[in-house]
């Protein structure tokens, strides 16, 4: 038997309806594309087909499926970014005008950026380190991003964020090494677990922090 007995039969019986729903959603998206003549709307409708793909993958509903959804989602996002970039550069060539990808500098005139940045950023980073892993990385990254935004608002130069991208690369290597240890030497799994979770923490945190670097480059132009 493919499915273990402790899974209730109701959950197993959901599989076929979910596949049908996924394919139906895909067809609805394709129908919309066939009616639509505006390029931008076609791009947005194509995303519906991509989400239908996530439904079909998620229908498997094991921990392996969870591991498959993440690359699926990344591919989906990368494709929509690439296509929208193509659309933008085509429109720019047609009209002869240049448009920035992110319309920064933003006017971030919020009081909280002046009064409480250090404490909130520190609390977020500390909580993120305590959590570790992907979630912790996201929380810590939000802390770093908040710090960057507030520093930007006060007009302090930041050379620090150059090193951030280096740390991100090293953390990526730690993560990969951790995964390799899982596969090659399963008996020292604890080391692999710590390597990959800490690497992922630094990786995700610095990735979100790197948004600050992009922001800085936009500010330099001004």
Partner 1 sequence: MDIATISGQLLGTIPLGDIVPYITPFNLFMFAGALTFTLLIAISRTETQVEAGFGSLKDREVKVGIKEFRIRRFLAIICGLATAGAMITGDLFNFTLFVALIGIVNIGIVSAVKQIDVLDAAFQYGLIAMMASLPLFGGAALVLASTGTLSLFQLSQATFTPVMVTFASVLLILGVAGETGVAPFYATKAEMFRTPGSPFILIIHLSSLLVIVRTIEILLIINKPF
Q: How far apart are CA 72 and CA 66, in angstroms?
A: 10
Q: Which of 20, 31, 66, 79 binds partner 1 (CB under 8 A)?
A: 79
Q: How far apart are CA 201 and CA 140, in angstroms?
A: 8
Q: Is 191 in the site for partner 1 (CB under 8 A)?
A: no
Which residues lie below 8 Å from residue 189, measured CB to CB, with a gap of 6+?
Answer: 181, 182
How crowded is residue 143: how many other Cβ atoms within 10 Å of its Cβ? 24
By C-beta, is 60 or 129 nearer to partner 1?
A: 60
The closest alpha carbon to 214, from 172, 175, 176, 164, belongs to: 164
- Site pattern 9..48 for partner 1 (x: CB under 8 A): ------x---x--xx--x--xx--x-----x--xx--xx-
Q: Is 99 in the site for partner 1 (CB under 8 A)?
A: no
By C-beta, is 79 or 162 nearer to partner 1?
A: 79
Q: Is 57 in the site for partner 1 (CB under 8 A)?
A: yes
Q: Is 7 in the site for partner 1 (CB under 8 A)?
A: no
| 147-152, Cβ contacts within 8 angstroms, sequence gap of 24 or more | 147/117, 147/118, 147/121, 148/209, 148/211, 148/212, 148/215, 149/108, 149/113, 149/212, 149/215, 150/113, 150/114, 150/117, 150/121, 151/117, 152/108, 152/212, 152/215, 152/216, 152/219
Number of H helices, E strands in the chain: 9, 0
Q: How far is the CB of 62 from partner 1 (least distance, A)?
A: 8
By C-beta, is 1 or 156 nearer to partner 1?
A: 1
By C-beta, is 30 or 191 nearer to partner 1?
A: 30
By C-beta, is 50 or 133 nearer to partner 1?
A: 50
By C-beta, is 89 or 165 nearer to partner 1?
A: 89
**# binding residues, partner 1 (CB under 8 A):** 45
Q: Is 182 in the site for partner 1 (CB under 8 A)?
A: yes
The closest alpha carbon to 91, from 143, 168, 39, 17, belongs to: 39
Question: Using CB under 8 A as the criterion, which residues of the chain lie in contact with partner 1 when the complex forms?
Answer: 2, 15, 19, 22-23, 26, 29-30, 33, 39, 42-43, 46-47, 49-50, 52-53, 56-57, 59-60, 64-65, 68, 71-72, 75-76, 78-80, 82-83, 85-87, 89-90, 93-94, 182-184, 186
């Amino acid at each position: 038997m493919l499915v273990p007995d402790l899974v209730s039969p109701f959950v197993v019986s959901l599989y076929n309806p979910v596949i049908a729903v996924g394919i139906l959603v895909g067809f609805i998206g394709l129908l919309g594309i066939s009616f639509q003549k505006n390029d931008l709307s076609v791009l947005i409708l194509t995303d519906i087909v991509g989400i239908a793909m996530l439904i079909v993958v998620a229908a498997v509903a094991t921990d392996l499926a969870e591991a498959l959804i993440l690359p699926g989602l990344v591919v989906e996002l990368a494709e929509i970014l690439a296509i929208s970039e193509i659309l933008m550069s085509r429109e720019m060539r047609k009209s002869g005008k240049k448009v920035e990808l992110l319309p920064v500098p933003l006017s971030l005139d919020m009081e909280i950026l002046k009064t409480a940045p250090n404490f909130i950023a520190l609390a977020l980073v500390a909580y993120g380190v305590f959590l570790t892993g992907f979630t912790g990385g996201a929380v810590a990254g939000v802390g770093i991003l908040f710090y960057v935004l507030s520093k930007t608002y006060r007009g302090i130069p930041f050379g620090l964020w150059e090193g951030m991208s280096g740390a991100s690369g090293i953390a990526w290597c730690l993560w990969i090494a951790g995964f390799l240890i899982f596969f090659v030497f399963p008996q020292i799994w604890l080391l692999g677990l710590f390597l990959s979770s800490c690497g992922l923490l630094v990786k995700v945190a610095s990735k979100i922090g790197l948004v600050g670097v992009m922001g800085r480059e936009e500010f330099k132009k001004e």
